[in-house]
Structure 1
Amino acid sequence: MLDRIPLRRLPLRHRVAVAFALVSLAVTGLFATVTWNLASFYLVEQRVEGATRQADGNVALVERTLAVNPDGEGLNDLLTGLAGTPDITVALHRDGRWTTSGRTVDLDVLPGPLLDLARDGTPARQRLLIEGLPSLVIALPMPNGGLFVEILPLHLLDANLRFLGSILFFGVAASTVLGLGLGHWAGKRALLPLTELARAAGRIAGGNLAARLPDSSDAELAPLVATFNRNTDALEQRVQRDARFAADVSHELRSPLTTLVNAVAVLRRRREELPPTAQQAVDLLDGDVHRFRRMVLDLLEISRSDTLEREPWELGELVRGLVAARGEDPVPEIDAPEPVTVPADRRRLDQVLGNLLDNADAHGGGALRIGVSARPGRGRIEVDDGGPGIPPDRRAAVFERFSRGTLAGSRGDGGGTGLGLSLVAAHVRRHDGEVWIEERPGGGARVVVELPGEAG
């Protein structure tokens, strides 16, 4: 499963955290392995060496006892004393038979090579599992072909080693988790400037050209901050120049446009007196002049930079009032089951709703339903039309300026200016809201506007 999710696909902050965790795992794992090997080797060797020295002393006692009493009188008592505890087994092979004391053990389970080595005069020892219990077997030669065997349990040593291993394992696990947390914190701190940069870039993309990065005293970050703020200043100045240019041009066009509109109105009144060819020219001129006038007004609205005058407004009442004022036939269904209040600029909000209805009239056969509902911390407006809908790959493009020509083939030629939805997006962004298009259940398009607010 991990092979299907390459590490490089993780966010950089998570990759830093994973790197910290892996380094911590490697370091503490190596330390734990070395500690385990050294500690286990030391403890086992200490136990084996101590047991061997003790066995050598026990053999000397047995030899002195046999030297004094060759017939073995008192030997059983001596072996019982040498065993000490019921867990230790002491065995003496003499004259072809075994004499044992302590824990009862089947001596046939002892390795033959180990006993043969001791019979040949070479002390031998071996760790093995006897009747489910880890044990140390020490075999020592005795005069006259005798054999002394001592079996000591190692379960306490084995338990201590398991306890040490558990401590080291959980220590490595805790160190890995700590490394992961430390890496996450370090990555978050290290990437904080990039996070602030992304947020500032997002605010700029949303239309807030006043967003800037705070000054930094870091020698590596200061050039980046300065460059970003300088480029943002240049972008803001350019946008302001473009807006002023559009406003100046639109303002200068209003007077001649007014003259043209009045002149066309005069021609419209005397249309019947004109020949058919001239009547057709007047009709075309009338449509283009009015469309040109709407375009100029929209450009003026887009170029306006006055502040928002926010007041609490109930969306359901605004929708009902706007629909009644437009006098549309048929009247779209208004679905506003509960009051929803949002702080908004009334003039801009009216224009948003009006442009959405105009768009539905021009490209979707008219609005079928206007829904108003509450979302957590937001108010939602939905405008449904009965048109052919908009392909998913074109839904973002319709909010761009002058996108009408691109969509004329799929949405019909409604005579729009191509600025209506662009103006909607601009006003919604200034209210810190969102606007998008989705498919209406049953076919058609649904334009959704969400504005910060609350249910009233």
Structure 2
Amino acid sequence: MPRRIGLRDRVMFAYGLLALCLSGVLALVVYDVLSNYLTEQRISSAVVETSDNAATLHYALYGPTPTCPPIRRRTDTECATEAPLPADKVTRLVSSLPSTDSAASMVFYDGQWYSATGRPDELPADMVAAVQGGEQVHRRVVTAGRPVLAVGVPMAQPGEAFFEWHPLTGLDKTLSMLKLTLILAAAVTALLGLAIGRLASTVALRPLGELTQVAAAVARGQLNARLESEDDPDLGGLARSFNQTAAALEKRVVADARFAGDVSHELRTPLMTMMNSMQLIQNHRGELPPAVREPVELLGDDLDRFRRLVIDLLEISRDDGGDEGTRETVRIADLVRAAADATAGREITDVSPDAVDLTMEADKRRLERVIANLVENAEEHADGCKGVSVRAGGKGVIVYVDDAGPGVPEADRERIFERFGRGNTQADGRRGGIGLGLAIVARHVEWHHGTIRVKDRPEGGARFIIELPAKIS
């Protein structure tokens, strides 16, 4: 199943997309304005330069008096008829024209083309015809594989025209650089938008993170956890409602725990009376009629289960009631060995050399109860405990409790740690779980800032794995 994008990421991506769209629109507008401006400036300067060169050539060909016919020799007071200039002289005049950046200059004079550089046949025919008809024309063309701006200016005489090519390579490079710069600017702006979105989402969702942490603490049993943003004008209502709900829940849980504790205490006296009476009856079992012996044995088993249930109720009501316990430095290997071996009635504990000196700040009663409940569960409900191992690793120390039972299905590996949680029916018809025992184990392990999980044992059966924070003493 694909992972859904969280709210924080959605806000971040929204900021980034908004920044990208705005920067993209701005980049397009800027590029359009600047490219048009630079192109118009380039065309304007090319037209001015071509017109100046055309005027200079006109002066050299026809003299300073534009009213004189082109083939008359003039004096100070009149114009006289003169033959057209020689071709080589016209070519020299074209070559000597002042130019700043033109690539080629060409003139159509006296019915033929003159050019020092450039090929007139590369000029568009319609453009040549328009200029010879008296129009000033400019057009972008490609010659010799290079983009140029061709500018045509009519001369004084009909049919004669002057042309220049102005390279556009520099303009194209400038526009390409401008385009690349704007694209990079848009990308950087999008990244900044993502960063701002991340920051904004972090700040905006910080109260939600606080709510999540407090709710998780309440779920873990820290019923006194509260939100501290009741004065916030936007979140005050939510914070007050949550705190009121948590306070009501705490009162209810404390009341239930007190009730369970009171009931358990009240049950202890009659329970002890029944247990003593049952022990007395079992001591005289041989004197009982055969038909009564089996019911007495069943009653004894149920009384023993009832005794353990009352003890578990007292234990869990003590935790629900807010018992903080006492922490002291304990050597984990020694505590686990003593609790496991005493519960099983035989030596079942194996301690690795690297875990012998590991210690931690623990409540001895709670930690002993964890080991005892797991071993007892393996002995009575999983065909016996196959061993308890203590190893260094994980958060500091890892305790393995193995049994020889049918194992725990994956669907039940979380449920068995709930109160009165029972797994699905096993292949042999037995039900998993033992009521409150594993729930107490989970609560006590969490109290020690550890974790517990269950998986399949490689040789068959279940393996309970406890990780606890520890250090070398």
Q: Same fold (TM over 0.5)?
A: yes
Match of 2:464 among 424, 447, 450: 447
Question: 1:4-403 alignment to 2 at 5 Å?
Answer: 9-68=4-63, 71-72=84-85, 75-85=90-100, 88-101=103-116, 104-142=117-155, 143-304=157-318, 305-326=322-343, 328-329=345-346, 331-332=347-348, 334-339=350-355, 340-375=358-393, 377-403=395-421
CA distance in 1, matches of 2:132, 2:472: 97
CA distance in 2, matches of 1:15, 1:415: 43
Secondary structure at the aligned position of 1:177 is classed as: helix
Are 2:386 and 2:404, in contact at CA under 8 Å, matched by a contact in 1?
Answer: yes
Question: 1:408-419 alignment to 2 at 5 Å?
Answer: 409=426, 417-419=434-436
Q: Which residue of 1 aligns with 2:74?
A: none
Q: Tell me: CA distance 1:436–1:377, structure 2 relative to 1, closer, same or farther (3 Å).
A: closer
Are 1:376 and 1:454, in contact at CA under 8 Å, matched by a contact in 2?
Answer: no
Are 1:355 and 1:420, in contact at CA under 8 Å, matched by a contact in 2?
Answer: yes
Deviates more, 1:191-200 or 1:361-370: 361-370
Q: State the shift of 1:271 in Å.
A: 1.0
Q: Tell me: CA distance 1:193–1:327, structure 2 relative to 1, closer, same or farther (3 Å).
A: closer
Secondary structure at the aligned position of 1:82 is classed as: coil
Specify the code of the residue in structure 2 equivalent to 1:322: A
Are 1:384 and 1:440, in contact at CA under 8 Å, matched by a contact in 2?
Answer: yes
Q: State the shift of 1:121 in Å.
A: 2.7
Deviates more, 1:231-240 or 1:365-374: 365-374
Question: Residues 87-138 of structure 1, C-alpha deviation per residue, up to 9 Å, x if partnerless?
Answer: 521111223432223xx33333332222232233322211123223221001
Deviates more, 1:341-350 or 1:318-327: 318-327
Question: Residues 356-389 of structure 1, C-alpha deviation per residue, up to 9 Å, x if partnerless?
Answer: 1111112222222323233354432221222111
CA distance in 1, matches of 2:394, 2:456: 22
Secondary structure at the aligned position of 2:389 is classed as: strand
CA distance in 1, matches of 2:259, 2:205: 40
Specify the code of the residue in structure 2 equivalent to 1:154: L
Secondary structure at the aligned position of 1:118 is classed as: helix
Specify the code of the residue in structure 2 equivalent to 1:419: L
Are 1:377 and 1:453, in contact at CA under 8 Å, matched by a contact in 2?
Answer: yes
Are 2:403 and 2:462, in contact at CA under 8 Å, matched by a contact in 1?
Answer: yes
Deviates more, 1:308-317 or 1:163-172: 308-317
Secondary structure at the aligned position of 2:325 is classed as: coil
Deviates more, 1:55-64 or 1:241-250: 55-64
Q: State the shift of 1:327 in Å.
A: 5.3
CA distance in 1, matches of 2:185, 2:202: 25
Q: Tell me: CA distance 1:312–1:283, structure 2 relative to 1, closer, same or farther (3 Å).
A: same
Are 1:291 and 1:415, in contact at CA under 8 Å, matched by a contact in 2?
Answer: no
Question: Residues 254-285 of structure 1, C-alpha deviation per residue, up to 9 Å, x if partnerless?
Answer: 00001000100110111111111111121111
Q: Which residue of 1 aligns with 2:78?
A: none
Secondary structure at the aligned position of 1:381 is classed as: strand
Specify the code of the residue in structure 2 equivalent to 1:428: V
CA distance in 1, matches of 2:268, 2:299: 17
Q: Tell me: CA distance 1:327–1:125, structure 2 relative to 1, closer, same or farther (3 Å).
A: closer
CA distance in 2, matches of 1:195, 1:38: 47
Question: Residues 389-418 of structure 1, C-alpha deviation per residue, up to 9 Å, x if partnerless?
Answer: 1111111111122234x5564576599852
Q: Tell me: CA distance 1:221–1:439, structure 2 relative to 1, closer, same or farther (3 Å).
A: same
CA distance in 2, matches of 1:375, 1:232: 37
Instruction: Indicate the structure (1 or 2) with the bigger Cα radius of gyration.
Output: 2
Specify the code of the residue in structure 2 equivalent to 1:28: S
CA distance in 1, matches of 2:343, 2:85: 126
Specify the code of the residue in structure 1 equivalent to 2:350: I
CA distance in 1, matches of 2:256, 2:62: 119
Are 1:92 and 1:100, in contact at CA under 8 Å, matched by a contact in 2?
Answer: yes
CA distance in 2, matches of 1:408, 1:180: 52
Aligned length, in residue pairs: 447
CA distance in 2, matches of 1:30, 1:167: 14
CA distance in 1, matches of 2:109, 2:404: 110
Question: CA RMSD, aligned part only?
Answer: 2.4
CA distance in 1, matches of 2:349, 2:289: 45
Are 1:341 and 1:379, in contact at CA under 8 Å, matched by a contact in 2?
Answer: no
Specify the code of the residue in structure 1 equivalent to 2:15: F
1:426 has 2:443 as partner: yes
Deviates more, 1:136-145 or 1:230-239: 136-145
Deviates more, 1:242-251 or 1:86-95: 86-95
Secondary structure at the aligned position of 2:323 is classed as: coil
Q: State the shift of 1:210 in Å.
A: 1.3
Q: State the shift of 1:77 in Å.
A: 4.3
What is the TM-score with the length of structure 1 in the denominator?
Answer: 0.91
Q: State the shift of 1:83 in Å.
A: 4.7
Specify the code of the residue in structure 2 equivalent to 1:257: L
Are 1:204 and 1:211, in contact at CA under 8 Å, matched by a contact in 2?
Answer: yes
Are 2:132 and 2:159, in contact at CA under 8 Å, matched by a contact in 1?
Answer: yes
CA distance in 2, matches of 1:386, 1:442: 9
What is the TM-score with the length of structure 2 in the denominator?
Answer: 0.88
